A and B are shown apart, each in its own frame.
Chain A
Amino acid sequence: MNGARTNTLASLRGSIARIEAPSEANMPNRVALGHASADAMLRGGLAAAALHEVFAGGHQGGAATGFIAGLAGLLSPRRPLVWVRQDFSDLESGALSMNGLAELGLDPRLLVTVRAADVEAALRTTADALACDALGAVVLEVWGNVRQLDLVASRKLTLAAQASGVTALLLRIAATPIPSTAETRWIVRAAHSPPGPAAGGWGAPRFDAELVRNRHGPVGRWIMEWKSDECLFSEPSAYPQPVAAAPAHRPHPAQGGAERRLAG
């Protein structure tokens, strides 16, 4: 490839980037997660009117759902939330429980669920919903690796989100990340929760959230705790109660957990 061509390509790429990058004037407003170091890394928080992806292993569906529900709650307080899912994801990772949502401090009254028969219908419905500026956020839940959710599809979603100001959240359980136009990409696992008020029980949900892609900044990995009362993420807080002694015949849960996570 000669120099002139490279230059042309570079200038074209530059102009595409200029067209695609939202200008400073209408820079998407950012919603703080509440977790200080993650917010700093994200330059103030999660960008609204963009596409964000959350990936999780097949057996981490609960944690990933909790994380994305938290994001949706932050991004669209008091505005309707559309959750698009496939029929069989109810079987794979369970139906969304309204009581469970309420327990996390989110409002089930604002939720409209769409049960699509296939990925095409789900994608189309999501693009449609993203065009509706009355919504706060749209969650698309897709189970497994699907061919249809390629770069073109994610670009469509990104453009629709930019046009309307509605945030698109993509929940991918049991899927491997592929190139996309997402603003951020997270891999979420469950983290050990702090001891709760009841003996032996647990406290607030904690997530091991790994930011693996950030279009406009560095990446990182944090343990986040969801504060149901304030509807915010936060740093894992220290709890005054003593941790219940781990049974002697099993390894310490924290160590065991770390090793297993590396393996899976």
Chain B
Amino acid sequence: MAAQEIPSVVVAKQHNAILLHAIDEAAVGAGLSIGLPLANARAICPELVVYDADPAADIKTLNDIADWCDRFTPLVALDPPYGLFLDITGCAHLFGGERALLQIVTNALSRRGFAVSAAIAGTSIAARTLTRHASGKIVADGEEAHAIGPLPVAALGADAAITSGLRRAGLKTIGDVAARAHHEITARFGADFTTLLSHALGQGDAPISPRKPLPDYIVEKRFPEPVSTDTVIAMTLQHLARMLVATMDRQGKGARQLEASFFRTDGAVRSIAVDTGRPVTKPEMIDRLFRERLDSLNDPLDPGFGFDLIRLAAGRTEIVVQQQRDLDATVHDNDELSALIDRIAARIGGKRVVVHLPLESHIPERSALAVPAQHHLAAAAQASWPERVAGEPPLRPLRLFDRPEPIKVPFATVPDGAPHQFTWRRALHAVVRVEGPERIAMEWWKQDGKSLTRDYFRVEDAEGQRFWIFRDGLYENELRDEAGEPVSANWYVHGLFA
């Protein structure tokens, strides 16, 4: 070392002791190792620079790297705390082969200051084992046992207890362990370890769990020179939309969920998703949905130094049913309406555009359910709402408060009767017309023990305003305190009639 670098370490508290969590090269040179207590480390190397570990930030960084890796394959899985699995089946040739791909990944990450070890193998566990002690290696299918045999058992990444147990048993390399009979190893170290071992040796594979579900269709455009102007981005999206539609069209599919990903040269990735109520089969519609979405972003797309890859993926697709569109007016109307709902949803969010479905409940606030219009438009159009009784005045209010609003009833009325006046939102209302009570009991089969039976009254005040008010609880048995003495009732306004 030319200039004596000052070793720096990251420490974390484990079992009430502050231990070294991660160390840099200078620290290794000074003779420190991971797991050493900080006090010992300071004794060895007093000028040590110490940082606190931040596991949440570590995971976030790992996720950011995984985002960046999405450009190589859609199947990226996390292997916390420090690992990533990339399933590059069928992807390597796009980057000039496995070796070139490995080079690209390693170089790019090293340039950003990460210490990288990477390997390619037929199974995920074999590849992970290789990265720990034989970085940069590419092992063809079927040669895992040969490649992995000479590695030390620690490379398997099993529990520290198992690793030290194996070492104490004199089994130094993975090959030594594999040479033993299976049942001996299982009896001593458990079945999980045997499975791990066989996966590492290429016998069977543990499936990786990718971070994102695999989209049905992906189209993407790479740029040798990063692009950053809005025009180019918009044109690229249009172009990708046409490509995507052409691909889907061949199989008679339309997209229900679309995601555009913008990969920045500095590694940041921005993904924007839109959902649609009906399968989209027109590039113009895809284009329009993304324009709506991009327009409404609180933090607009920041190209930084430019995007070098733009990808459009159809996350979910559906088979498109062809309909005669020109003659039937209702089909046209339905198409227009669902296209409108998609556009609004793309801009302000799917949960904000709702249709209403009836619920089987006599509790007023639970008698209707608002559901996203994109997914339930057809169901809502066929819902059966309670029929109104011809000739009757309205029995239910037009506006209903989610939370009934407390009102003040100034003096006691006849038990079970309606009040003569009440105060709601600081205004006094004199009651001139009353109809009721309509008794609505809570759903006893769901009762939390607190909901009381309600007596509802339809009242009209001196100004002609019509309210739906209720008294919470029955005088005869519910409105009693623990000693059995009657307590005063609470009154609420629950709705306003037209």
Contacts and interface: CB of A to CB of B under 8 A. Distances in A.
Interface residues of A, number: 79
A143 B363 CA distance: 28
Contacts of A264: 463
Interface in A115-156: 115-117, 121, 124-125, 128-129, 132-135
A69 B458 CA distance: 20
A245 B464 CA distance: 16
Contacts of A18: none
A237 to B, nearest CB: 13
A150 B91 CA distance: 56
Contacts of B341: 112
Contacts of B475: none
Contact of B399 (A96, A102, A208): A96
Contacts of B433: 193, 195, 200-202, 244
Interface in B364-402: 364, 367-368, 370, 373, 377, 380-383, 385-388, 390-402
A113 interface: yes
Interface string B336-364: 11011101100110001111101000001
Interface string A220-264: 000000101100000000000000101000100100110011001
Contact of B464 (A108, A133, A189): A189
A257 B356 contact: no
Interface of B: 332-337, 339-341, 343-344, 347-348, 352-356, 358, 364, 367-368, 370, 373, 377, 380-383, 385-388, 390-402, 425, 427, 430, 432-435, 458, 460, 462-467, 495-498
Contact of A62 (B337, B387, B465): B465
A14 interface: no
A184 B355 CA distance: 29
A95 B400 contact: yes
7 tightest CB-CB pairs across the interface, nearest first? A66-B498, A62-B496, A201-B435, A94-B399, A134-B336, A100-B398, A103-B394
A13 interface: no
Given A98-B356, A117-B352, A191-B464, A69 B498 contact: yes
B296 to A, nearest CB: 8
A207 B348 CA distance: 35
Contact of B352 (A116, A128, A192): A116
A264 B333 CA distance: 44
Contacts of A108: 356, 358, 368, 383, 385
A114 interface: yes
Given A99-B385, A99-B386, A201-B458, 4 more contacts: A103-B395, A113-B355, A116-B348, A228-B393
A22 to B, nearest CB: 23
A128 B345 CA distance: 12
Most chain B C-beta atoms within 10 Å of own C-beta, residue among A107, A109, A257: A109
Interface string A183-218: 000000111110111111111111110000000000
Given A112-B354, A193-B464, A132 B388 contact: no
Most chain A C-beta atoms within 10 Å of own C-beta, residue among B341, B343, B427, B496: B496
Given A97-B400, A102-B386, A128-B343, A111 B462 contact: no
A226 B498 CA distance: 9
Nearest to A60: B465
A43 interface: no
- Tell me if A's interface is mostly helix, strand, loop or mixed: mixed
B460 A104 contact: no
A79 interface: yes
B393 A203 contact: yes
A96 B398 contact: yes
B465 A190 contact: yes
Contacts of A190: 463-466
A99 B368 contact: yes
A63 interface: yes
Nearest to B436: A201
A249 to B, nearest CB: 9
A105 interface: yes
B498 A67 contact: yes
A93 interface: yes
Contact of B385 (A98, A117, A260): A98
A129 B347 CA distance: 13
Nearest to B345: A114
Given A95-B402, A113-B354, A190-B464, A202 B495 contact: no
A135 B340 CA distance: 10
B326 to A, nearest CB: 15
Contacts of A200: 433-435
Nearest to A207: B498
A111 B435 contact: no
A203 B393 CA distance: 5
Given A112-B353, A128-B343, A128-B344, A100 B466 contact: no
Nearest to A253: B432
B396 to A, nearest CB: 4
Given A80-B337, A95-B399, A129-B340, A250 B354 contact: no
B353 A114 contact: yes
B34 to A, nearest CB: 49
28 contacts: A63-B464, A67-B498, A94-B400, A94-B495, A95-B399, A96-B400, A97-B368, A97-B400, A109-B385, A112-B353, A114-B344, A114-B348, A114-B352, A115-B353, A121-B347, A125-B344, A133-B336, A134-B334, A189-B463, A189-B464, A195-B433, A201-B393, A202-B435, A206-B464, A256-B462, A256-B463, A260-B462, A264-B463
